[in-house]
Amino acid sequence: MGTGFVLNSLRAIDLDRASHLHREAFEPMGERGWTRQDVAGLLASPGVAGFLLTEGASDIGMAICRVVADEAELLTVAVDPAHRRRGAARLLLGVVVDRVRGDGARTLFLEVGADNPGARALYDSLGFRTAGRRAGYYARHGRPAADAVIMRLNLS
Ligand SMILES: CC(C)(COP(=O)(O)OP(=O)(O)OC[C@H]1O[C@@H](n2cnc3c(N)ncnc32)[C@H](O)[C@@H]1OP(=O)(O)O)[C@@H](O)C(=O)NCCC(=O)NCCS
């Protein structure tokens, strides 16, 4: 089945849309959603690139990454709950990988909640491997903190 996904760079005029996508994706997991100021601050920092995926008039998802020397980090990926399992995150991560590799990164790192099986399955399917763990890293509303699993993808 085809999609009408259209990918663009995340621009200053998209801050509210990116913040909305982030809050809708992360707040149900008990994480703090990012404000437009959070997104603006990130986009203004060195080596950061963001992407916004749309379909017609709908915002589908977004991703933000950062490159420092030969290491890159996926800072976030968020897909609208109404449009999950349609390949949006896979598409966004493919674009992130191409961008950071083009910018000279040899490794892409990310951190994911140990209690987030969907995201972990996504990263496993793309070839990321577990590189470490931070105990109790993610505060969760009304639940014990979750460990962060650090994952890495070799780009070279
Ligand atoms: C994780 C998230 C980004 C996935 O977005 P998505 O667009 O639904 O993912 P895709 O459709 O591209 O999935 C690609 C593959 O990842 C795996 N996957 C994705 N979501 C999954 C889930 N909930 N359960 C199991 N596997 C999943 C599957 O292998 C899937 O392929 P398939 O659909 O052909 O089986 C989305 O669920 C989300 O925004 N979650 C909340 C925010 C979040 O957890 N972000 C990552 C934090 S590090």
- Going along the chain from its start, the domains and CATH numbers come out as 5-154 (3.40.630.30)
Residue nearest to atom 9 of ligand 1 (CA): 89
Per-residue buried b or exposed e for 61-86, using 16+ beta carbons within 10 Å of the residue's own CB: bbbbbbbeeebbbbbbbbbbeebeeb
88 C-alpha to ligand 1 centroid (Å): 8
Pocket test for ligand 1, best of 58, 73, 122 (most atoms within 8 A of CB): 122
**Which one, of 64, 22, 63, 62, lies nearest residue 47 by Cα?**
64
* Largest CA-CA distance found in the chain, in angstroms, rounded: 42
Helices 36-43/15-26 angle, 10° precision: 120
Which atom of ligand 1 is closest in space to residue 78's alpha carbon? 39
Residue 141: pLDDT band with limits 50, 70, 90: confident
Residue 140: pLDDT band with limits 50, 70, 90: confident
Q: How would you class 6 by CB atoms within 10 Å of its CB: exposed for 0-12, middle for 13-18, buried for 19 or more?
A: exposed
Ligand 1 contact, 120 CB (< 6 A): no
pTM above 0.85, yes or no: yes
3-state secondary structure of 11: coil
Name beta bridge partners: 125: none
Ligand 1 contact, 119 CB (< 6 A): yes
pLDDT in tens, 21-76: 999 999 999 899 999 999 999 999 999 999 999 999 999 999 999 999 999 999 99
